[in-house]
Amino acid sequence: MDKMSGYADQAKNDETSGGGGGGFAASIDIQKDVPNPIRLVDTPDGIERYYISWCCCDDGTRRPFIVENEKQGVSILGEMLGDRKNFYRGGILESVKDEATNSAKYIWEDKAPDLLLVIAYNEDASGKSGSWKSKEEYMFNAIQRNPDVDKETGQPFFWCKENKHTKLLKMGRTAFLSLQDVRMNDGNPSEYDINYLKRGSGFSTKHTIHKAGN
């Protein structure tokens, strides 16, 4: 079994995972409500999987932090949150059954309610801002077909062509499984362009991928 198919099988069966410049690689920014034509490079084995947490920082902004990958293992932050595969046992996000309400309750909810408000709710008790629970993402080298727009001049330009380099394409589980379906139907996606479609907003955002032209 190749790497991409192995990840797809695990993603379908794993119910515990919810969900450029300087020294950083350039990434493809998926535009909403329009087709995003992309050519993947080096599939099916040129793929990396990692787990990311969106954490509320001191300035009130949610930012992504990689808490686990397959080369370096679990980070200190990931260990602090708990065992992802076992309902975050041993960490701040561990939960137990509340006999009074017959529902799950964080074990730190009474010990450190202010801490739980930040980590379990991103300082939003309504739950609409999510939590620090990690979700898997997948990363590919890819060629972006749509132009970028120069922030200073407003002129379009093709970053990959002008820099003779790929960008990183990052996607969550839903988009990845959609891509795997395309691959199973149409063959290796390194041999044709795909269209990545992103619609909706917030928790209702939908990610779908098709072979370009279909």
d(CA 186, CA 8): 16
Taking residue 130's Cβ as centre, other Cβ atoms within 10 Å add up to 20
User: The whole model's pTM is what?
Assistant: 0.84
What mean pLDDT is reported for the chain?
91
Q: Strand (E) positions, the chain? A: 36-41, 47-56, 62-69, 73-74, 95-98, 103-106, 135-144, 148-149, 156-157, 167-172, 194-199, 206-211
Q: Which two tokens stand for residue 142?
A: 């890819």
What mean pLDDT is predicted for residues 70-92?
A: 95
- Reported as a pLDDT band with limits 50, 70 and 90, residue 56 is very high
The count of residues in the chain is 214
Q: What per-residue confidence (pLDDT) applies to 201?
A: 86
With a cut of 70, say whether residue 131 has pLDDT above it. Answer: yes
The answer to whether 119 and 93 have CB atoms below 8 angstroms apart is yes
Q: What percent of the chain has pLDDT over 90?
A: 76
